[in-house]
Structure 1
């Protein structure tokens, strides 16, 4: 569900309704709440805290770091059509940035540790070992329980696993986009959780 404004940007039209929806999801048995610091940015994490804090013991809170936002995900053209916003989701994987964002997410969520912290995207300008290494350092400090990756290939996953235990991978996968089938098969074989994003997409 989207807990932000249109284009995953800014406040939602009805914040109270978002809070009610999150609470109802938990009442119905949802046990994994997955968000990201870049959703809003920061809006989704704040709403989740407002809706659920203090968190039920059986609910896993997952968030992501490693992307910044330069604007809404989609914008209106002069013709009223929709298109992707230019450079709306640039990755930033500098270790000091990742650490800063984890600490800020902890504060926004009202947590002393994050159950599952996922690297939202691999920054091609920063060695993957440095990015995962910083998350491992945060894990060793008790600020992260489990580490996950998002939108990675098998080779990147294997490289990351040489540095830290990887609990989950979140890649795009659905009926019409099965480009991550090899990653899903690898995760199944290796006992790594696979979390598909956009799982219900079935047409353009």
Structure 2
């Protein structure tokens, strides 16, 4: 399958272009408060959609509230083909800390915050964010997921995904609801989910990798630099292209607050990696 072939989420009529956009960086420093240039943030969103992006990843705890409000300002009323994916399960403390928010009331309140600030009557896809910041933690997720399933039955959520979870937690979740996507940490150097991705591909479930804040370690690799130079591309373009080549169920949500970087990221979908380059990059693990 071509890296430019769209992906249809399981048991839905949603078909997504594999290069999406992650809106987290539209908020201020440390994902807190407003950005320095709201007009630039609006321009980025509008250019992303005009360039073929039909999948925007966000959450109302980005800012908090700021990112969703900017998305609404830039894109509402939303194009019919645009899918907005948000997350529940966390909140921000007054000191900008990241705190769990998995109680029934916190999840209900979070859903309504997203609806209000995005200007929607129903949320396209909601990911339940569980576990510590980057690494899934063992344990049942049935209680919070049941809350999302109830919100789905009430017509406030169309589809459900999971973020920061293990294969065992997915199996538990699938007894409660249809799961359309998984969002975990994964990149050229961090490949803990290799087997998980392959299993999800067999099930037709989308896998959406995220990168930790504070640095994308593969970009500090001389190997990536050398491959990028040989292809007249940037290291980030190579890293993104590798993910697209990795499996046809991988959807990308690179975020940026720069129009230049947005254009570079989108161009990664057109970057073909020769067999020799792929072998070199695969060897980083």
Alignment match, 1:10: 33
RMSD: 2.0
Residue 143 of structure 2 is aligned to residue 130 of structure 1: yes
1:28-67 paired onto structure 2 within 5 Å: 28-67=51-90
- In the aligned structure 1, how far is the partner of 2:106 from the partner of 2:140? 14
Matching residue of 1:165:
178
Q: CA separation in 2, counterparts of 1:63 and 1:41?
A: 13
**Higher strand proportion (structure 1 or 2):** 1
Equivalents in 2 of 1:7, 1:183: separation in Å? 30
Equivalent-residue separation in structure 2 for 1:153 and 1:141 (angstroms): 27
1:182, distance to aligned residue in structure 2 (A): 2.7
Flag the structure with higher helix content. Answer: 2
Q: Distance in 2 between matches of 1:112 and 1:127?
A: 30
Does structure 1 retain, via aligned residues, the 8 Å contact 2:140–2:169? no
**Residues paired across the two proteins, number:** 189
CA contact (8 A) 2:60 2:117 kept: no
- Which structure has more RCO (C-alpha within 8 Å, separation ≥ 6)? 2
Unaligned runs of 5+ in 2: 1-22, 221-285
Is the counterpart of residue 191 in structure 1 residue 204 in structure 2?
A: yes
2:135 is the alignment partner of 1:112? no
Q: TM-score, normalised by structure 2?
A: 0.63
Deviation, 1:139, is: 0.6
| Cα deviation digits, residues 23-55 of structure 1 (max 9, x gap) | 011000100011011111111111000000000
**Any conservation in 2 of the 1:32–1:62 contact (CA below 8 Å)?**
yes
Stretch of structure 1 that moved more, 9-18 or 183-192? 183-192
Structure 1's unaligned 5+ residue stretches are: 73-87
Residues in 2 aligned to 1:112 and 1:172: alpha-carbon distance in whole angstroms: 30
In the alignment, the residues of structure 2 paired with residue 63 and residue 184 of structure 1 have an alpha-carbon distance, to the nearest angstrom, of 21
Q: Does 1:102 pair with 2:111?
A: yes
1:168/1:193 contact within 8 Å kept: yes
4+ aligned runs moved over 3 Å, structure 1: none
1:37-88 residue CA offsets vs partner (Å, 9 max, x unmatched): 111111111100000000000100111111112344xxxxxxxxxxxxxxx3
1:93/1:122 contact within 8 Å kept: no
How many angstroms does 1:183 deviate by? 2.3
CA distance in 1, matches of 2:98, 2:191: 22
Residue aligned with 1:90, SS: strand
The alignment status of 1:121 with 2:134, answered yes or no, reads no
